[in-house]
Structure 1
Amino acid sequence: MKRGIHFKIPNTYGRFLADMLSPIDITSYSWFIGGEESYHVKNGDLHHPLFPEETEMDGETFSHLIHQDEHYLIFANLKAFSNGPVKDIETYEAFRKSNCDLALLIVDSTFVDMYCKNQQMIESLYTHALSHSFEDVAYLTDANNTRTSLTVW
């Protein structure tokens, strides 16, 4: 069974969150934002943190934030919920049992794992990642992904 997708993004400034999430209506979700390390970029320099602390954010606010400025992603822990309580989901097993629809993890500015329960959404995200020339795009499956933790630390 497909769990999601994995790919690499360039280790540079950009609007990569908006790019990689564009196949889905991010405004229809409530978002758990882990207070990991990512920054706004102003005038070519790192500015204030993109996500200064762990928080919950509505989809409109989240969409505005990731489309507003370029950013530099070092670590990110984002979870999307279409209904129910918004909270961090720390394991893949908990993700499967939760009302969390999408988990997006970024490690070391480059490595992206996106976990999703909806197989059609996985296909859409996969096709989109290929069309954006992200590197090493691959499906995460039960056979090739034994990750149990859905955290970035």
Structure 2
Amino acid sequence: MRTAIKLELEEAKIMIEAAKQKAEEINVLETIAIVDDGGYVIALERMNGARITGPEIAIAKAFTAAGHKRSTHLFNHYPNGPALPGNEAFGIQHMLGGKFAVFVGGFPIVVNGEVVGGVGISGGNGEQDTAVGTAALQALHDLLLETGHPVLVEADIKV
């Protein structure tokens, strides 16, 4: 048996607030989804005026990042090439019926080297979604800093 760290609503809310702050700072309307290690939504927020498609896209990005233990944009650099015809990962985005995303904006939440969830960002361009997602991860890192539970805070996470 081992003891597992679980991401809970309180942490998810802190991550969403930090993400919204960053989105406001860079002037982009985003939807932010935080999921647990099974890909189930803990918290979701669509900023006023953000696209109505944002929730489904953000959830798919967070689900993919948590479930596949890698940032979603890394599917564009998968071993042996991107998820395009003729390459190793081609078609992976069609698995799990619309729940899998292979473009920028999904990041696993890694605490103590273990994936405890995912964050998905939808609404901006790749650079904006990355900045907002990184802000969410940084907020969790800052929250847990004194507990001795390190959080990975980078865009290119692959566990």
| Structure holding more helix per residue | 2
TM-score category (smaller protein): 0.3 to 0.5
| TM-score, normalising length: structure 2 | 0.34
| TM-score, normalising length: structure 1 | 0.34
